Amino acid sequence: MTVDLSPYLSAVPDAVVERIRGAKRVLAVSHENPDADTVGATLGVVRMVERLGGRVDPVCTDPVPPIYDFIDGVELFRTDPDPAAHYDLLVLSDCATPERVGPVGERHRELFERLPRVVIDHHASNAALAEADWIDPDAAATCEMVALLVTCLGVPLGSDRALATALMAGIVMDTATFAHPNATPRTLAVSAALVEAGAPLSDISRRLYRSKPENQLRLFGRVLDRLTSFDEGRVVASTLLDADLAATGTQPPHSEGIIDLLAQAERAEVAILFKEAGETTRISVRTKPGGVDATVLTGLFGGGGHARAAGATLPLPVDRARDAVLAEARKAAAAVAR
Ligand code: 5GP
Ligand code: MN
């Protein structure tokens, strides 16, 4: 390997390295509605602990969507811990709060509270403070952090193409292939190491961002056609109804990517996608650099994420959620001075 990650390894806390090194039977949990970053990071934990002689069960409360099938190991995910296993460590990856694991955390509350834990996350809104909670908002992706951890543990990235692919997928996902401002020199150095280790970068990028079933494109068309803008375009919004999914034969994960198209609206300080989910509404929010902090806006509704990309779930039907969120978004956008 010619790419040298050693200048970056001091960022990895000793407590995290020690807990991972000492673990024999790990419960590695991703967030609900999984994306490539949480999936890749969790599988990274699987590979790394296995290389060190331990065993890991990757768990996600939701089935992993088929678009991630190209990542070796997704078939290992289960929706619940193994009742027969004697776990000695819980690892949460890419979860801004412990509740982000979703219903599996409620189904196994006692286990989740009892196990020693490691948290690996890059959300600025994460308030976790325990000894082995590693929160790095400067990391573009949780997978970037896991790549450093793997290297700290002496597991060569170059020895495992599947590991490199899983970690590369998370970085490609969370940077939109290095297009977002979160991609730093460290992100690129880690990515160079992963590509050197055999991660098929352009193939991963195509699969995650430039390849869609036709029904998904039709879904995008319906939602984009419904774009509404406010205040000379400073706020743009659209709505994805359950009826759109039914009409196009798509599932909720197919909405991934629509918000990033809405956010291309030239003048928009805030772009919002409202996603009907029965009697509740999921929102995705994107904001322009130097403008509205998306974690502040979504925080008003119990959500969070990153300054430029955040989300929330509101216990309101979509029309009422729209009224409530748009009022706050228009106020926040009006306060931005350019
Ligand atoms: P997306 O809009 O792509 O679903 O999410 C954008 C970002 O916000 C992601 O980094 C995601 O982890 C975070 N996020 C989305 N929904 C929530 C939520 O309900 N709570 C918190 N804390 N973060 C969220
Ligand atoms: Mn992430």
Q: Which tens digits make up the pLDDT trace of 186-201? A: 999 999 999 999 999 9
- Between the CA of 300 and the centroid of ligand 2 the distance, in Å, is 21
CB neighbour list of residue 132: distance below 8 Å, 6 or more residues apart: 13, 15, 16, 19, 116, 117, 118, 119
Residue 132 in 3-state DSSP? coil
Q: Please, what is the average pLDDT of the chain?
A: 97
Best residue for ligand 1 mutational test, from 284, 293, 297, 301 (most atoms within 8 Å of Cβ): 284
Reported as a pLDDT band with limits 50, 70 and 90, residue 46 is very high
pLDDT of amino acid 117: 98
Query: Is the pLDDT reported for residue 115 higher than 90?
Result: yes
- Between the CA of 40 and the centroid of ligand 2 the distance, in Å, is 10
Written as one letter, the residue type at 104 is V
Q: Is the CB of 309 under 6 A from ligand 1?
A: yes
pLDDT of amino acid 159: 86
φ/ψ (deg, to 5) at 252: -50, -40
Give the atom of ligand 1 at the shortest distance from the alpha carbon of 313.
19
Cα within 13 Å of Cα(277), Cβ side? 16
What percent of the chain lies above the pLDDT cut of 90? 96
pLDDT of amino acid 314: 98
Best residue for ligand 1 mutational test, from 31, 32, 33, 35 (most atoms within 8 Å of Cβ): 35
Ligand closest in space to the Cα of 309: 1
Query: Is the pLDDT reported for residue 125 higher than 90?
Result: no
What's the rounded Cα separation, in Å, for the pair 160 and 315? 44
Ligand closest in space to the Cα of 144: 2
Reported as a pLDDT band with limits 50, 70 and 90, residue 182 is very high
pLDDT of amino acid 113: 97
What percent of the chain lies above the pLDDT cut of 70? 100
- Between the CA of 53 and the centroid of ligand 1 the distance, in Å, is 34
Query: Is the pLDDT reported for residue 10 higher than 90?
Result: yes
- Return the higher-pLDDT residue of 181 and 248: 248
3-state class percentages of the chain: helix first, strand second, coil last, to nearest 5: 45, 15, 40
Give the atom of ligand 1 at the shortest distance from the alpha carbon of 259.
2
What's the rounded Cα separation, in Å, for the pair 282 and 313? 4
pLDDT of amino acid 54: 98
CB neighbour list of residue 107: distance below 8 Å, 6 or more residues apart: 80
What's the rounded Cα separation, in Å, for the pair 266 and 284? 18
C-alpha torsion 144→298→222→260, nearest 10: -30
pLDDT of amino acid 143: 99
CB neighbour list of residue 163: distance below 8 Å, 6 or more residues apart: 43, 44, 47, 48, 150, 155, 157, 197
| Average pLDDT of the segment spanning 121-129 | 93
Query: Is the pLDDT reported for residue 325 higher than 90?
Result: yes
Task: Give tens-digit pLDDT for 197-239.
Answer: 999 999 999 999 999 999 999 999 999 999 999 999 999 999 9
Q: Is the CB of 312 under 6 A from ligand 1?
A: yes
Q: Is the CB of 183 under 6 A from ligand 1?
A: no
Q: Is the CB of 284 under 6 A from ligand 1?
A: yes
Reported as a pLDDT band with limits 50, 70 and 90, residue 272 is very high
CB 236 within 8 A of CB 271: yes
* Element housing 168 (H / E): helix 161-175
Give the atom of ligand 1 at the shortest distance from the alpha carbon of 97.
22
Task: Give tens-digit pLDDT for 246-269.
Answer: 999 999 989 989 999 999 999 999
What's the rounded Cα separation, in Å, for the pair 288 and 292? 7
| Average pLDDT of the segment spanning 275-291 | 97
| Average pLDDT of the segment spanning 155-182 | 95
Question: What global pTM score does this model have?
Answer: 0.86
pLDDT of amino acid 268: 98
